[in-house]
Amino acid sequence: MMRSIFLVSVLSCLCLFAGRAVAQQPSSEGISQLQKMEDSLMVVADSMYTAYLPDERPVYCEKFVKQLVRALKTDGSYGYDFPKLQKKINIIAPNDNAFRIFNWLVIGADNHVRYYGAIQMPEEHLKLYPLIDHSEEIAGLADSVLTNTNWYGALYYRIISSEYQGKRIYNLFGLNASSLISNKKVIDPLQFTDEGAVFGAPIFNIASGGSNRKINRFVLEYKKEVQASLNWDDNLKMIYFDRLISQVNDPNRKYTYVPSGQYDGLRWESDQWNYITDLIPVQNFKDGEAPSPKPLKPAE
């Protein structure tokens, strides 16, 4: 019950982001004001992450959200990079600067992890979509279409864009480490529609055996104690990721998955991400030979 009340409180704070007009670049007076607000945000962020009593961290998070709201209501806030705050939370934008995401997590009591975020749009009147984490309740993640108020929480570390059915779609690379036994890395497609921010689109063609089934979100789940790659290679113009295998030969137990040493990939073609096997093929060596990776050459 308390968790629900807190979520409503934070959502209410974030929804205050509809305000006065915002200039693309702040004035010198605006920069000075934003710098002072940023210093205050840094202090609260420290407590939000490290308060001795874990139950107090969500309280500081709510305070942080309120202060962030006030800062983003400042004229020209979209043109301010928050250079200090970037060391405390993720602030990430696509290459076309069509929006930016403020993104962080809070570890509360019993090591419970909750993700937070907000998408700021560079419009004449300040517009922001709050991101409300419901990752614990979302079933069928790969096939779900979600909204900003029913969001699969993650920390985003990369954004690349694609043209899908004549519209721009943004592929968000994120990590969700809220489970005690496994981590998930995701590629979450984001589009902006008349209804708002929509996450998920049928653009991942990863089926085998001639099937044409597509999924709405690419998910890589693996054992908590290991590292798994999921990222974009600018030279290959492809997404690469670790091929995972179960340590106990049970494909249903994702928390036993570890990297196999092989890499697969995704290439954008014909309005979809197509699955590419053996991005870096396994090589057999004779005595005395050294490995020489031979990545798959992308299409011209």
Count of CA atoms in the C-beta half-sphere (13 A) of 295: 15
Which tens digit of pLDDT belongs to each residue from 134-166? 999 999 999 999 999 999 999 999 999 999 999
pLDDT level of residue 123 (50, 70, 90 thresholds): confident
Mean pLDDT of 31-46: 96
Is residue 80 a contact partner of residue 36, using CB atoms and an 8 Å limit? no
What is the C-alpha R_g of the chain?
Answer: 21
Question: Lowest-pLDDT range, 71-80, 150-159, 249-258, 280-289?
Answer: 280-289
Burial 189-205 (b: 16+ CB within 10 A, else e): bbbbeeeebbbbbbbbb
What's the pLDDT band for 209 if we cut at 50, 70, 90?
A: very low
Range in 58-62, 241-245, 258-262, 295-299 with the lowest mean pLDDT: 295-299
The number of beta carbons lying within 10 Å of the beta carbon of residue 2 is: 8
The CA distances from residue 296 to 161, 232, 242, 268, 281, in Å, are: 22, 14, 15, 15, 8
* Cα 235 to Cα 240: distance, rounded to the nearest angstrom: 11
Helix (H, G, I), strand (E, B) or coil at 6: helix
Domain positions in the chain are: 1-133, 147-300
pLDDT value of residue 4: 43
Q: Are 155 and 135 in contact (CB under 8 A)?
A: no
Q: What pLDDT, on a 0 to 100 scale, did the predictor assign at position 17?
A: 45
